[in-house]
Amino acid sequence: MPLHFDASHFVGPKIQSLQTENLRLQEKVKELETKNALLNLRLANNQNETRNVREDIIRFKVLNEVQWRTRTRMSAQFQETKKRLCEIKSDLKNLESNVRYAFDGAQNLFDGHLQDLMLRFEKAQLKDGDLGELIGRVTELEDALQEANDNHIKEKKRRRKLHNTLIELRGNIRVHCRLRPLQNFDNRLDHFKEEFLERGDACGSPTNLGELGSPSEQVIHPIDDESVVVTQQKPGSTAKNFEFDHVFFPEDAQDVVFNEVLPLITSLLDGYNVCIMAYGQTGSGKTHTMLGNEKEPGVVPRSANELFKLIDEKAPGSVSVHVSVVEVYNNEIYDLLSENPKSTKHEITSTEEGGLDTTSTIQMQVHCSAEIEKWTAHGLRNRAMIATKVHEHSSRSHLVVTLTVTNHETTVSSPRKSSHEHSTMASPSLLSKKARRLPQPNLPTMTCKLANSQNSATCDDRDAIVTAGDSYKTKLQLVDLAGSECVGMSGVTGPALRETSCINRSLSALSDVLCALSEKRSHIPYRNSRLTRLLQDSVGGDAKLLLMLCVSPAQRYLVESMQCLNFGQRARQVQRGPPKKRGYSVMDSPTRPLSPRDSPLGGRKLRFQ
Ligand code: ADP
Ligand code: MG
């Protein structure tokens, strides 16, 4: 019989023990897995470290390489430097020996000279008399040198005087050239440059102007007081020299310029007609030269001053002065002393005496230079002004200030009581009437000292000293011409363009007249313009004429400046015969007929002769 036993008694504990074993094994597995994970982590760390170490090794290798190369290079440089040092040391040695040699030589030379000097000194001491003689000779030589210097200065003066006499005998036009200093507005190129680039007109090419905004360089330089040189005309061209009767440097002040004009004012009182005319492009300094400003008065106020200084040396009442201020604008003559200058156009006509006359321009009698200045200022307020791009206050007209000097030949009559007339030309005269009608430009209540009178007389008192008898007139024309630039330069259009072309035409007419005169042509085209007609007596006649060329020395004006300098050269060629002296004595002109206008009491207004 099969053994029958209950297996559940064995299986249950077995399963339990197996389950326990299983649990234990599972925990073991977990533990091992954890260990494995840790080992993996450590392995990864180790691998990382190994990689870092490898990279370090590579870096070290590179560094090592670099160091090796640097060491090699430095070693080569060191060798080179060492070699150079050896060379320098050897040079130094050579130098030292050379210096020592040179020094020894110099020392020997010095010793030789010293000995020589000592010997000479001893000799000189021995011959005291010779020393005295030597000193005497030196003094003689110094004196001779001084004399030679004095003679040179005298000769120079004599040469200039002779030159002036020659000029006067030939009737040459005296031409002075004044270079003005560079001005701030010389650098304002922006506007012009564009215009020139667009138009490229006849006045100049863009190459004449410097770089945009850059300072315009000085290209016209004075050489001495008689010549100027123009550099940089065109790239590659040579410098050009011009000679004039006098050249003023940019730094020359107004008094220096006037000193050269001064003799002409004396000539005016000596009986000569005189004309001083400023020519040049706008902005070149014409108005500055002729009128100046309060601080730096120009030729007009200085001439007025000088004239009255000279008059004060004469007998009271022997000379009277009248002033007129006219402008030539758009080829018409306007009287700037009249109430409404633009209302009347004035004509120039020939007189019976062969002179020229403008109809009805006002001649104000003046008694002091201050009065001339006041009337000139009054006239200037009426002068046509228009802003151009060249110069903000560009004058678009020719201004002519005329001082007419009447010399009364006879003795002074008794002074009258005070007169309220402005003119000695008697009350019925047109002039006096006009003068009374004029708005008076705040004339100062001034006293005009008479040098040779013990008392000072007021202007009114001077009016009262009336003379009678023969008289002669001379006139001083002071002309501030309008700018000589051509149309394109000013950038003007419309009415201003007409003004500019009128200016151009009148200046061309002036140039033509000078050309015809220099070529001694039979026909001189004075009638081509009112300007030349107005100045006919002075330019072509027997006046002493001074042309003052005003020149801007900056590169941007080169074309205009060259035109101006050439104009001056042409004017110098003109020979008109000697200037004529007015006035006469009983000896040289006993039968001169008296014309009504010669008499200060003739009841007529003064006119241009
Ligand atoms: P223009 O009458 O020829 O048009 P201006 O006399 O008005 O020229 O001169 C232009 C500018 O240059 C003015 O501001 C003037 O004061 C200045 N100027 C001209 N000449 C001189 C000079 N010699 N010295 C100093 N400034 C000058
Ligand atoms: Mg001017």
Q: Ligand 1 centroid vs 300 CA: distance in angstroms? A: 15
pLDDT digits (tens, 9 = 90+) for 32-61: 999 999 999 999 999 999 999 999 999 999
DSSP one-letter code for 333: E
Residues 351/357/363/367 CA torsion (nearest 10 deg): -70
DSSP at 592: P
- Rounded to the nearest 10 degrees, what angle do helices 128-170 and 8-126 cross at? 100
Q: What is the DSSP string of 529-557?
A: -HHHHHTHHHHHSSSEEEEEEEE--BGGG
Give the number of the ligand closest to the Cα of residue 397: 2
Whole-number Å distance, alpha carbon 394 to ligand 2 midpoint, is 6
Is 225's pLDDT higher than 70? yes
- Residue 210: the pLDDT is 41
Closest CA to 200 of 559, 571, 591: 559
Q: Which atom of ligand 1 is nearest to the CA of 289?
A: 6
* Whether residue 283 has its Cβ less than 6 Å from ligand 1: yes
Asked whether 327 and 384 are in contact (CB, 8 A), the reply is yes
Q: Which of 2-11, 75-84, 203-212, 461-470 has the highest mean pLDDT?
A: 75-84
Does ligand 1 have an atom closer than 6 angstroms to the CB of 181? yes
Judged by average pLDDT, the poorest of 341-355, 452-466, 474-488 is 452-466
Q: Which of left, alpha, beta for 522 (phi over 0: left; psi -120 to 50: alpha)?
A: alpha
Mean pLDDT value of segment 409-429: 38
Judge whether 546 and 176 are in contact, CB under 8 Å: yes
| pLDDT (tens digit per residue) in 156-193 | 778 777 776 776 776 678 999 999 998 877 775 544 44
